[in-house]
Each structure stands twice: as C-alpha cells, then as structure tokens.
Amino acid sequence: MNPEKVVFGFFIVLALTLNFGFFVGDIDNPDHHHGWELFAVIVVNLIATVLKFGDRSQMGAVLLATSLVAILQLIAAALVWTIAVHATEAGMTPSTMASIVSLAGGAMIANVVSVVLLIIETVMLRR
C-alpha cells in the first residue's frame, strides 16, 4: 500500500462528497446551502489540486485539468456569494443562491470526472 495514494484518493473523494453535500437541497433556498460547506469544499479542492501537481502521466494531466475546472467554478461561486452579501444592497436573494449552487453543481461534475478517472486508473492497475 502506498500511503501517498491513500491521501490522494482520500482528498479527491472528499472533494466530491463535500461538493455533493453543498449541492443537494432546493436550488434557490439559502437555508439548504451553508457557507461552511462551501468553504470546506474550496479548501479540500485546493488541496486535491496541489496533490495532482507534477504527475507526468496522461492520466495525471487530465486529473489536474478537472481539478482546475472545479476550483475555477468554486471560486466563482465564493466570489458571487461574497459580492452578494457584502457589496450589494439586496444581500442574499434566492436568484443569487441559485447561481451559486449551479456553479457548485458544475464543479461537482468536474469532481465526478476526477473520481471516475481515479477509479479507471485503479482498475487498469489491477489488471
């Protein structure tokens, strides 16, 4: 067992599960989507991205690309949240919440691809 692979797999799967946790619920209901969850998703995704640095294989390159996509989407979501709460008069509205959650949903697709790739790589290794 390679401990590096355990940490790697852990963070990639955790990124997906946390992302899913933030995503579920009514899309425009702020009560269903908590800020802490988004924060955790962003931190875990950042760690997962950094862990993918420096992999020479084709698989490594695609994994890094999916993580970068997820990070981009999540940071956009965090920015929308921050601007809505701190820089607009209206504050958090259902429509703002909907766009934050849809951005996080996009990031979740990227995380799903990441996990699928990880599984494919593992299966290929077993053969």
Partner 1 sequence: MNHIIFLVFRRMRTPLLALIVAYTIAIVGFVLIPGRDATGAPAPMSFFHAFYFVGYMSTTIGFGEIPYPFTDAQRLWTSLCIFLTVSVWLYSAGTLIALLQEKTFQRALAEQRFARQVRGLCEPFYLVCGYGETGGTLVRALTERDRRAVTIDIKPERIALLQLENLREFVPALAADARSPARLLDAGLNHPCCAGIAALTDVNATNLKIAITAKLLNPRVPVICRADSVAVEANMASFGTDHIYDPFGTFALYLATAIQAPQRTRLFEWLTGDARRTPPTSRPPPASGRWILCGYGRFGKALHRHLTAQGLELVFIEARPERTGRPEGTRLIVGPGTEAPTLEEAGIAEAVGLIAGTDDDANNLSIIMTARELNDTLFVVARENQSDNHGLFCAVDADIIMHPSAIIAERIQLLLATPLLADFRRQARRQDEDWARELVERINALVLKETLAVWELTVGLDEAHAVQTALDAGTEIRLATLGCDPHDRAAPLPMIPLLHVRGGERRLLPPGDLPLGRGDQLLFCGLPIARARMGLTLQNPHALRYVLTGRSHYEGRVWRWLGPRLARRLGAAERARPTSTQDAEATRDHR
Residues that bind partner 1 (CB under 8 A): 35-36, 39, 43, 46-47, 50-51, 53-56, 78, 82, 85-86
CB of 82 to partner 1, least distance (A): 4
Of 50 and 119, the one with the shorter C-beta distance to partner 1 is: 50
Nearer CB in complex with partner 1: 58/125: 58
Q: Which H/E stretch holds residue 88?
A: none
Minimum distance of partner 1 from residue 43's CB (angstroms):
5
CB 36 to partner 1: min, Å? 8
Radius of gyration of the chain from its Cα atoms, rounded to whole angstroms: 16
The answer to whether 63 touches 111, Cβ cutoff 8 Å, is no
* Smaller CB separation from partner 1, 58 or 126: 58
Closest CB 127 distance from partner 1, rounded Å? 26
Amino acid identity of residue 32, one-letter, is H
- Residues of 79-115 as b/e, b for ≥16 C-beta within 10 angstroms? eebeebeeeeeeeeeeebbebbbebbbbbbebbebbb
CA distance linking residue 30 with residue 11, whole number of Å? 27
Nearer to partner 1, 40 or 98 (CB): 40
